[in-house]
Amino acid sequence: MAKYIKCGTLIDATGAGLARNKLLVVEGDRIAAVLDQADTPLGAEVIDLGGYTVMPGMIDCHEHLSLDVGDEAAQMSQPVPYLSMIAVVNAEKILRAGITTMRDVGEKYFIDVEIKRGIEAGLIKGPRLLTSGHPLIRTGGHAHFLGRETDGVSDMRKAVREQLKQGVDLIKIMVSGGMSTKGSLPDSQEFSDEEIFACIDEARRNGRKVAAHLHGGPGLKPAVAAGVHTVEHGILFTEEDVKLVAESGTWLITTVGVGEVAELDPATPPHYREKASRSNANGLQVRKWAKQYGVKVAVGNDTNHCRMDMEARALVEAGWSPMEALQALTIRGAEVCGMAERTGTLEAGKLADIIAVDGDPLTDLAALRSVPFVMKAGVVEFSEIGQAR
């Protein structure tokens, strides 16, 4: 039986302006039509979101379900059952925050693969997941406590194949050093050019794309030349780096909030706080260049779960309009995930990934933190609103 969703204000994320008094018709897992509320059939099952802004479910392109902001090495020393429980709790929180699709770009013990299985089986609640399994890391490199350490071209190809064996959706490689690993240099190149090429080539030949952790430094050029799909973070990019990304068509996934929180949180290890503090200011300039040169940008919360408002705010500060920022949180994320034909906007034929926010996010991005209604693929996952009349 069809559901009829009355919208107070509709943001469909296509780039069109606000629409008033619209009606979303949901049949099964899809949006069947977008109508005027005057066309509501008598006796229909109506979900009344008339007091809210209705928009597509958001898409987080960079997350780690079993990690939180803080001492990542200590967190990853926990046993599998404990990490799995953290991942289950975070998955539900993330869905409840209005994030209906998410790329998990690295988990220990293939926790992401099993969480995805549990979500799809209906055992637990969480967003639609794209998984990457173990990040590929040089021995002793950034996040060595999290991923699969690998050295040399042949071992790199084997490591990619190990991830593929587990059925992952994409491959993650740590091209540069990072903030959270003691002794790691965020702008260093951690793999050789040949190892980077081998990773991306092996993934491509098996129908997978590669996400590259890359704060900055010389590793960007070989990664782009090899055809990397996304570069994550980019906080230390130079203007020439940003131009290169723009010209290549590679996506930049910005993750601003996690660095801001890490810089200020006294529970964050000193080495992490210090590197974040030195890097955050440069990130604003990178985003301004990205806007100037037309880089394709989507966003991720990293371990700063659920805070899409912070990511949207960072884009607006750098020159995006509020509508463009909301598109970065929705349809642009869908494009990154290869799902733009299925989700990311509220249009007939697409999955019914629908959320309501309390307020107008185009005038106050903090409204993105108040999500009283979440529907994923036609199923009401969470609602604080009376559903039927």
Residue 388 identity (one-letter amino acid):
A
Would 388 be classed as within a structural domain?
no
Q: In whole angstroms, give the CA distance from residue 315 to residue 43.
A: 44
Q: In whole angstroms, give the CA distance from residue 249 to residue 221.
A: 13
In this structure, the answer to whether residues 229 and 275 fall within a common structural domain is yes
pLDDT of 385 > 90? The answer is no
Residues shown for the chain = 389
pLDDT of 124 > 90? The answer is yes
Would 192 be classed as within a structural domain?
yes
**Which contacts (CB < 8 Å, 24+ apart) does range 244-248 have?**
244/220, 245/220, 245/290, 245/295, 246/290, 246/293, 246/294, 246/295, 248/224
In this structure, the answer to whether residues 142 and 254 fall within a common structural domain is yes
Q: Are 53 and 361 in contact (CB under 8 A)?
A: yes
Q: At what angle are helices 270-293 and 308-317 packed, to 10 degrees?
A: 50
Q: In whole angstroms, give the CA distance from residue 281 to residue 276.
A: 9
- Residue 94's alpha-carbon distances to 65, 155, 198, 365, 382, in angstroms, are 9, 35, 34, 17, 12
pLDDT of 33 > 50? The answer is yes
Would 351 be classed as within a structural domain?
yes
Alpha helices in 250-307 (DSSP H): 256-264, 270-293
In this structure, the answer to whether residues 265 and 356 fall within a common structural domain is no
pLDDT of 36 > 80? The answer is yes
pLDDT of residue 387: 46
What pLDDT band is residue 272 in, cutting at 50, 70 and 90?
very high
In this structure, the answer to whether residues 227 and 268 fall within a common structural domain is yes
Structural domain total, the chain: 2
The CATH number given to whatever domain includes residue 264 is: 3.20.20.140
Would 127 be classed as within a structural domain?
yes
| Mean pLDDT of the region 30-54 | 93
112-122 per-position pLDDT tens digit: 999 999 999 99
In this structure, the answer to whether residues 353 and 289 fall within a common structural domain is no
Closest to 49 (Cα-Cα) out of 94, 90, 83, 9: 9
The 10 Å CB-count burial string (b at 16+, else e) for 298-309 is bbbbbbbbbbbb
Which burial class, exposed, middle or buried, applies to 158 when counting CB atoms under 10 A from its CB (0-12, 13-18, 19+)? Answer: middle
| Mean pLDDT of the region 2-12 | 96
pLDDT of residue 386: 60
In this structure, the answer to whether residues 39 and 101 fall within a common structural domain is no
- Please provide the average confidence, as pLDDT, over all residues in the chain: 96
The parent domain of residue 355 ranges over 3-56+346-383
In this structure, the answer to whether residues 227 and 359 fall within a common structural domain is no
Alpha helices in 38-165 (DSSP H): 72-75, 80-96, 111-120, 153-165
Would 389 be classed as within a structural domain?
no
The CATH number given to whatever domain includes residue 41 is: 2.30.40.10
In this structure, the answer to whether residues 71 and 217 fall within a common structural domain is yes
Q: Is the pTM of this model over 0.85?
A: yes
In this structure, the answer to whether residues 141 and 283 fall within a common structural domain is yes
pLDDT of 154 > 70? The answer is yes
46-81 per-position pLDDT tens digit: 999 999 999 999 999 999 999 999 999 999 999 999
In this structure, the answer to whether residues 299 and 150 fall within a common structural domain is yes
Would 62 be classed as within a structural domain?
yes
Would 50 be classed as within a structural domain?
yes
In this structure, the answer to whether residues 325 and 295 fall within a common structural domain is yes
Would 212 be classed as within a structural domain?
yes
203-228 per-position pLDDT tens digit: 999 999 999 999 999 999 999 999 99
291-323 per-position pLDDT tens digit: 999 999 999 999 999 999 999 999 999 999 999
pLDDT of residue 17: 85
| Mean pLDDT of the region 231-235 | 98
pLDDT of residue 389: 36
Q: Are 6 and 46 in contact (CB under 8 A)?
A: yes
In this structure, the answer to whether residues 42 and 95 fall within a common structural domain is no
Closest to 19 (Cα-Cα) out of 276, 387, 345: 345
Residue 30 identity (one-letter amino acid):
R
Phi, psi of 222 (to 5 degrees): -65, -35
